[in-house]
Amino acid sequence: MYSRLEITVEPDKFWDHCGIFGITNHPEAARNVYLGLYALQHRGQESAGIVTSDGRRLHLEKGMGHVADFFDERKLTRLIGSHATGHVRYSTQGASFPRNAQPILIDGWRGQIALSHNGNLLNAAELRFQLERDGSIFQTTSDSEVILHLIARSRKETFEEALMESLSVVQGAYSLLIQTPTKIFAVRDPQGFRPLSIGKLDHSWVFSSETCAFDLIGAVRVRDVECSEIVKWDLHEDRLESIMIPKPPKPAHCIFEHVYFSRPDSVVFGKGVNNSRYQMGRILAQEAAVEADIVVPVPDSGLTAALGFADQSGIPFRFGLIRNHYVGRTFIEPKQAIRHFGVKIKLNPVAEILQGKRVILIDDSIVRGTTSQKIVEMVRAAGAKEVHMRISSPPTISPCYFGIDTPTKNELIASSHTVEQIREFLHADSLHFLSLAGLKRAVGDHKNFCTACFSEEYPLPIETGRSQLDLFRKET
């Protein structure tokens, strides 16, 4: 007997983040942002939103769910105007509620302001406590709203001055799109933790977390928004103006954007993600060679690194695991328990490829280790003679506090176990991680990257004993 149940399939990873997209001066602004967000769907599957402007007022549609599920022709028709910004979200700070969907829109003495944020503010709790004490009333539990309240309460004469003053007091990671009825601002923090690029589509300027969204609408990448930069577009001038935040740039780009987050067809931080992952695989093969018959990626994140590993080692690449891309949260599940059901519903081993083979499994990371353990067991059950696990990043030993919802340090298996202990837990014949030096070689510009999740060397001071959610809870 079967029943329809609402369940959450066990995720491959616990890395969660957001995506932002915007466009200026286009007759189909809302539809282009819809397409841009669709291309960025991998950056957030919890909620989606778009705000447009007709030059006088902002118009907002946002809600829970995937881009294609939430938006329909009726909602897009209501989004009138020629410039627009949008957001796809997976919550880091704040809980998963419809009111936390972005863009966040307020209407105050400065007029309407909409904000889309990718990142995480370290001092949001302290700032929110001060703002509430002074009379501010928050409509969400998101740290992003703090920036809007700071702008609204600023006594500076111009919006630009109020924005710079507000950003001078916030700490942490923020790639932002801020929209008023006549302006769009694209902003990155001094470290540039999260990506944000500028593109051109005919006479329109386009902004996106990843360049793969440019490709979908036919835009061409121009450059990145720089660290500590505010890029301003004004409807009346129709040009870009660069303004610098009064904080010196100190680049610390998230290296995990190249390991896992970003799509391989994107250019992120000025570098092709596909090439970075391919080089990770090649260097991993140099560092951790093993005799085997086939190289098998854990789809999808292990694909490019596995190609690099196979090319470097000369061992044939094979699709020994097939991924089901159509798994949702609600489906028919048997009442009788099935071993490793959460993994099996997403990945299925190909027995005719794996039978009797010495297999090298390539994945991008190991977080808690439970999913990797089940994959190893599935491959063995399909007839593999040996299973050698190779990971195209170093051991993850520290949580991220800059916009990625990672488990606490205690939940990260590599923070408390040796590589040999992890190998035993996985039941693998061997296990090797890419070295931190090898990862830096693969991205080719290690001086400008944050590697805190692998090294525990944070570019900003944080309280490492607290979770991300704890950082947002004000003291009582």
Active site residues: 18
* Geometric angle at alpha carbon 91, from 147 and 261, rounded to 5°: 105
How far is residue 111 CA from its own chain's centroid? 31
Which residue is associated with the tokens 């809007």?
A: 148
* Geometric angle at alpha carbon 39, from 36 and 44, rounded to 5°: 100
Give the closest residue to 206 by CA, choosing from 20, 18, 19, 24: 24
**Contact at 8 Å (CB) between 151 and 110?**
yes
**Contact at 8 Å (CB) between 432 and 419?**
yes
* Other beta carbons less than 10 A from residue 138's beta carbon: 15
Count helices and strands (H / E) in the chain. 17, 25
How far apart (Å, rounded) are the C-alpha atoms in residues 273 and 463? Answer: 31
**Contact at 8 Å (CB) between 361 and 375?**
yes
How far apart (Å, rounded) are the C-alpha atoms in residues 101 and 41? Answer: 14
Q: In 4-64, which residue ranges form alpha helices assigned H by DSSP?
A: 29-39
462's CB contacts (< 8 A; 6+ apart) are 122, 401, 471
**Contact at 8 Å (CB) between 361 and 309?**
no
Strands 104-108 and 111-121: antiparallel
Burial level of 157, CB count in 10 A (0-12/13-18/19+)? exposed
